[in-house]
Amino acid sequence: MKIAVTGNGAFGTQHMRAIQNIPDIEVISVTGGRPAGTEEFARTWKIPHWTSDLAETLQQPGLEAVIITSPTQIHVAQAEMVMRAGKHVLIEIPIADSVAGSERLVAVQKETGVVGMAGHVRRFNPSHQWVHHKIEAGELHVQQMDVQTYFFRRQNMNAAGQPRSWTDHLLWHHACHTVDLFMHQTGGGLPVAANAIQGPLHPELGIAMDMSIQLKARSGAILTLSLSFNNNGPFGSFFRYICDNGTYKALYDDLVDGNDKPIDVSHVDVSMNGIELEDREFFAAIRERRAPKSSLADVLPAMQTLGKLEAQLTR
């Protein structure tokens, strides 16, 4: 399968690393914003074609699909261009930074009939899959998810410590992971209650550096989510599942119980890398001509919930 990647930053690199472990996938083009960086990325990963023009990438012979890892603000425009060209698309989280943009992408996917998938990697991390399987089997019921998403980013830097040309966002990017996962783990559907508060806006970046979110699912389960770009300590997202039959703590692909005893999740899927599992699902859905897990339509309720939270924060 011949595919392309847009974006040559930290997540473009993560997808390229993952793809090395997936047979019969050939990355034939990369589209980036800065020519020098895009050319270097192509050379590093031995990608035969690079460009700053997505339209040029979409004209490459045999191209079937595109993974979008570009800045959030251009996800909608790029994804629509990809789908209208008849190519399948995987859009890294978040698919958009608005409800309107998210709804537009769902509509275009339905119109074109291509595979449209959201890169909601938490659904694919072996740690969260292990919990989900227990929930589906009726062995666990979530009472509360307590989540901390902490970074130290007082400047526009990406996960690799490189300058960004765009501004990241606690709500539309980092909260999106947890809001979608909470809904996924508690039976889906819009929350029956949703609250959010935020701290002062950064004087230069124009975004809140601290945020707190509460959700309540139809099942009665609650979510307590704390987010910060001001935390100078351990970085990442730390998930605590408080269940009726145990407590579990997840950090990306790893899982321990409430007493920090490691849980073996190596048998959960074919890889221990959530990004790789996400990509494998995308390619499998294309080959099998089916809707992917974490389709654009699947994640729309989470995006609509973010919209409701944003309305609280900006009024």
pLDDT at 250 over 90: yes
Rounded to whole angstroms, how far apart are CA atoms 101 and 303? 10
34 and 114 share one domain: yes
pLDDT at 287 over 70: yes
What pLDDT does 152 receive?
86
pLDDT tier at 138, thresholds 50, 70, 90: very high
- What CATH number does the domain containing 284 carry? 3.40.50.720
pLDDT at 167 over 90: no
pLDDT tier at 168, thresholds 50, 70, 90: confident
pLDDT at 135 over 90: yes
Q: What share of the chain has pLDDT > 90, as a percent?
A: 89
43 and 157 share one domain: no
What pLDDT does 223 receive?
98
CA angle 95, 96, 101 (to 5 degrees): 120
What pLDDT does 204 receive?
85
30 and 54 share one domain: yes
The position carrying tokens 């998930």 is 239
127 and 251 share one domain: yes
pLDDT averaged over every residue in the chain:
95
Q: Which amino acid makes up residue 164?
A: R
259 and 135 share one domain: yes
Lowest-pLDDT range of 226-240, 281-295, 298-312? 226-240
What pLDDT does 166 receive?
60
What pLDDT does 315 receive?
76
7 and 42 share one domain: yes
What pLDDT does 233 receive?
86
Q: What is the pLDDT of residues 88-104, one digit of tens each?
A: 999 999 999 999 999 99
pLDDT tier at 304, thresholds 50, 70, 90: very high
Please state, as a whole number, how many other Cβ atoms lie within 10 Å of the Cβ of residue 205. 16
231 and 289 share one domain: no
62 and 205 share one domain: no
Q: What is the pLDDT of residues 23-41, one digit of tens each?
A: 999 999 999 999 999 999 9
What is the Rg, in whole angstroms, of the alpha carbon atoms belonging to the chain? 19
What pLDDT does 190 receive?
96
177 and 307 share one domain: yes
CA angle 296, 49, 42 (to 5 degrees): 85
Lowest-pLDDT range of 62-66, 149-153, 189-193? 149-153
190 and 261 share one domain: yes
Rounded to whole angstroms, how far apart are CA atoms 32 and 15? 15
For 110, the domain range is 2-120+275-295
pLDDT at 164 over 80: no
DSSP states of the chain: -EEEEE--SHHHHHHHHHHTTSTT-EEEEEE-SSHHHHHHHHHHTT-SEEES-HHHHHTSTTEEEEEE-S-GGGHHHHHHHHHHTT-EEEEESPS-SSHHHHHHHHHHHHHH---EEEE-GGGTSHHHHHHHHHHHTTS--EEEEEEEEE-B-SSSB-TTS-B-SS---IIIIIIHHHHHHHHHHTTSS--SEEEEEE-PBPTTT-SBSEEEEEEE-TTS-EEEEEEESB--SS-EEEEEEEETTEEEEEETTEEEETT--B---TTSSS-S-HHHHHHHHHHHHHHHTSPPTTBHHHHHHHHHHHHHHHHHHH-
178 and 306 share one domain: yes
The position carrying tokens 């996400």 is 278
What is each CA distance from 312 to 94, 177, 203, in whole angstroms?
Answer: 20, 19, 21
pLDDT at 159 over 90: no
Rounded to whole angstroms, how far apart are CA atoms 214 and 144? 11
What pLDDT does 161 receive?
64
Domains identified in the chain, total number = 2
pLDDT at 269 over 90: yes
- What CATH number does the domain containing 306 carry? 3.30.360.10
129 and 224 share one domain: yes
